[in-house]
A and B are shown apart, each in its own frame.
Chain A
């Protein structure tokens, strides 16, 4: 019988649902711009945000398995039935975790490749291969995922910071600050294995980052 380690905290599902909504809004907005401008970068930018949104949807579904599914039951007659149920949900949990990590890495790498104007198909293929490899490796060494996402987010932050220097305004500052905050959340998650309460801190910092993105999005909508 396997035991999935979970954090006894249900708020991460609600927080992640908010993040899904924010990512979906930005994704749809970028796609609507693609329909007008017909420039592929807006389409791929939309897909990247959508991939991250899907990653969080998968994670919410995964967390439900941990929070709602009874893993251990001390009833002698039902032991065999419980073992089978646990086995199925454990497989689902592992596939879900791999999918979440792959989609997250692909989404973030997509954003990075688009904002750095990388048009070479080879770069995209290489990056996505590395994303899948990292997601697979992180199944054994979990902090590898958080370390990789932190590195990608750090590079994204640097690019947005350069953009802010070029166009110093509130919206560019907002985007830069948002990705810096999300970067810090991933750095926090790296140390969760040493102190489980850092998971809550990481989730809150991550939410703050996405709320900053939402503020930028709302400001864009209000442009007259």
Chain B
């Protein structure tokens, strides 16, 4: 989900996120709630109708850390 938001220049509509992350509506809301709770993403209400999901700095840092861990893991075959 975080990668999908990052690829959309850090701002994405919930429905687009659902398709990009290949999740059901229920799962999207569940995971999104988790991410917002952990300050990795936040909701931005533009007007009464439009809402965006924003990647926070903490979310960006987490992605960098995650990629480093993955790189270490693959480099050493762990």
Which A residues have a C-beta under 8 Å from some C-beta of B? 29-30, 33, 36-37, 41-42, 45, 114-115, 159-160, 162-163, 166-167, 169, 171-172, 174-175, 216, 219-221, 223-224
Contacts and interface: CB of A to CB of B under 8 A. Distances in A.
B32 to A, nearest CB: 22
Contact of A174 (B68, B73, B75, B78): B75
B-side interface mostly? helix
B72 interface: yes
A221 B69 CA distance: 10
Contacts of B68: 220-221, 223
A169 B69 contact: no
Contact of B74 (A37, A159, A171): A171
A74 B64 CA distance: 64
Top 3 A-B pairs, shortest CB-CB distance: A163-B77, A171-B75, A220-B71
Given A223-B64, A224-B64, A114 B69 contact: no
Interface of B: 64-65, 67-69, 71-78
Contacts of B64: 223-224
A223 B77 contact: no
A interface, by DSSP: helix, strand, loop or mixed?
helix
Nearest to B76: A175
Contacts, number: 50
B78 A160 contact: no
Contacts of B65: 36
Contacts of A45: 76, 78
Contacts of A175: 75-77
28 contacts: A30-B72, A33-B69, A33-B72, A36-B65, A41-B78, A42-B78, A114-B78, A115-B76, A115-B78, A159-B77, A160-B76, A160-B77, A163-B74, A163-B76, A166-B77, A167-B74, A171-B75, A172-B75, A174-B75, A175-B75, A216-B75, A220-B68, A220-B72, A220-B75, A223-B64, A223-B67, A223-B68, A223-B71
